[in-house]
Amino acid sequence: MGADVYFSTPGVASVRWDEPSATVVVEWEGWANTAEFAALLDAEIKALRERGASRMLADCRRQRVLNPADQERAEREWTPRAIEAGLKRFAVVLPISDVAAANLKERLGSATSAIRIHYFAAVEEAKEWLPLTRLRATRGSRPFSRARRGASASSRGGA
């Protein structure tokens, strides 16, 4: 696997770093057994930490219904780890399967106070949302956002 790929199992999913958007990208391809799901979740955390990322996009359209015990474990263990790793914005493209979509929303429901999560039907909508939240979230707190908005720290009275 390349330096930008953190997990890749054909028929399951991939986790990779997208440099242009500064986003951890997860692309589901089907179903994951317990070990595969755990490895995928660990890869997400590793990517967030190594890249200092605060945003993740999960394309779950092809995700199948997962084992309920795995989902419960993810809710208990992954969510706090993701928050600790710096995840702030999470764009989720919902699975085509209504059952899988409902399970995913339920699993992520406990994280909504610490992580801003939005659900989408299309990847393009999710990609459009992530940069917008980055500007709002960092307004006045990072040189990147000030430069992008055309203001400097000195014109705002300091950092």
Ranges of residues in the chain whose predicted pLDDT is under 50 = 133-159
Q: How far apart are CA 17 and CA 15, in angstroms?
A: 7
Overall residue count recorded for the chain in this entry = 159
Q: How far apart are CA 17 and CA 10, in angstroms?
A: 17
Identify the structural domains of the chain with CATH numbers, from first to last. Answer: 5-156 (3.30.750.24)
Q: Give the model's pLDDT for residue 147.
A: 32
Which residues neighbour 153 within 8 Å (Cβ) at sequence distance 6 or greater? 143, 146, 159
pTM metric for this prediction: 0.79
> Which residue intervals of 26-67 are DSSP H helices?
34-51
Q: Give the model's pLDDT for residue 56.
A: 98
Q: Give the model's pLDDT for residue 110.
A: 64
Q: Give the model's pLDDT for residue 7.
A: 98
